Amino acid sequence: MSDLLIVDDTPNNLRLLMDLMVDQGYDVRTATNGKMALRSAQASIPDLILLDINMPNMDGYEVCQQLKANPKTQLVPVIFLSALSEVLDKVKAFEVGGIDYVTKPFQVEEVLVRVKTQLTLCQMKRQLEQTIEVQSTELDRAQLQLIQSEKMASLGNMVAGVAHELNNPIGFLSGSVRNAQTYIKDLFGHIDLYEELCPDSPKAIQEDAEDIDLDFLREDIPKLLDSMNGAMVRMRNISTSLRVFSRADTDEKTSADLHESLDSTLLILKYRLKANDNRPDIDIVRDYGELSPVQCFPGQLNQVFMNILANAIDMFDEVAQSAALDGLKPQPQAITIQTRTLTEQSAIEILIRDNGKGMSEAVRSRIFDRLYTTKGVGKGTGLGLAISQQIVVEAHDGEITVSSELGQGSEFCIRLPSIGEISR
């Protein structure tokens, strides 16, 4: 139901127009002067105003100008109704913001058609604006995801390339270590056989054995080779973790080990967790529980974990740098990752908590806003957490929240729907 405001200082005109519009089903308010009209319009914004020009103290032109100068009422369409029929009068009406002009005495059918037409145009304009806003929001989301997807794809390709390049030398070294173990065993066996068959070896050989400490070599070389073999296993595990992090998502969700995803993300960030000039190592506390299966896009969730963990590290670096400038001793810094299954809610929960500086209410309320960042110029895009929210909520039907207090650290909570019982 459209709300009309009719402004005229002539009671008969007001009564006629009000009866006419009420009969058409409109809600109608009236005002007999300019000040009353402005107060009424500001108190409750009408859908359309029918405005007389010749009124005492404040004419219709001035009323319209003030309406258009006020952000609350500037978009309200104004149709002038006046006995003034000169061209200059009509031109001035349009110049001050009117959208139509009806000359008195008016024809009832003409007024009704003009009112209906303007209300229809306003409704179509609002619908168009809403459509544009929705499409603009969708476009922003698509661009947001595209930017981060391209960024993560580039990182993933680089990591996958590194993992691939590591495989060949790892395989070569692993095989070589195994061969060396066999060769050394055969060589020592040969020496043992020689010493057994020739117990009285020449003095020069006995002296050389003492110089090279042959007994120590017999004991230490196998240990050295075992250590090298252990290093190869660790490098192979690193290569596997890199491939886990860089895996590409398919069009369909798949079941994934989220602990594996978390660990692979931590591995990528390991170099940033190490001590630097301003702070000690950042401790990582893993409190992993048993998780029920989750259907997800693992690569996208890796983005979420990466964004949250990287932000925590950035915060620790900022705090440590500030403390160093103030001559203060850096405090112990830690990130705790806790996972658990919420059986009653048929969900799994991932908590990522830091013991950093925390956030104010103002920051916390905007932390997921697009382009919002607390970092300095050139240090943050304000996209990471907005994309994280989009991935968790829209792509996984989950939820992501943050709780924080100044000086008490921050905790991000990610909940994802599970698809079954805990696998044992």
Domain that holds residue 283: 254-417
Residues 360 and 223 in one domain: no
Which letter, b or e, does each residue of 83-100 get, where b requires 16 or more Cβ atoms within 10 Å of its Cβ? Answer: ebeeeebbebbeebbbbb
CATH number of the domain encompassing residue 296 = 3.30.565.10
Residues 330 and 388 in one domain: yes
Q: Of 195, 212, 246, which one is at a domain's C-terminal end?
A: 246
Residues 267 and 409 in one domain: yes
Is residue 123 assigned to a domain? no
Is residue 121 assigned to a domain? no
Residues 266 and 239 in one domain: no
HSE-up of residue 183 (Cα within 13 Å, Cβ side): 7
Unique residue bearing structure tokens 């595209």? 146
Residues 336 and 258 in one domain: yes
For residue 40, what pLDDT is reported?
92
Residues 204 and 260 in one domain: no
For residue 424, what pLDDT is reported?
46
Residues 274 and 399 in one domain: yes
| Number of domains the chain contains | 3
Spacing of C-alpha 104 from chain mean position = 59
Is residue 147 assigned to a domain? no
CATH number of the domain encompassing residue 58 = 3.40.50.2300
Residues 34 and 67 in one domain: yes
Output the CA torsion 134→139→141→142 (10° steps): 140
Q: How far apart are CA 333 and CA 320, in angstroms?
A: 10
Q: How far apart are CA 288 and CA 306, in angstroms?
A: 18
Residues 357 and 320 in one domain: yes
Could you tell me the CA-to-CA distances from 226 to 18, 167, 219 in Å, in that order? 98, 20, 12
For residue 38, what pLDDT is reported?
93
| pLDDT, block means (10 residues), the chain with 424 residues | 88 88 90 92 92 90 93 91 86 91 86 89 86 78 62 59 69 82 88 84 84 87 87 75 63 84 86 86 93 85 89 90 82 92 90 92 84 59 75 91 91 88 53
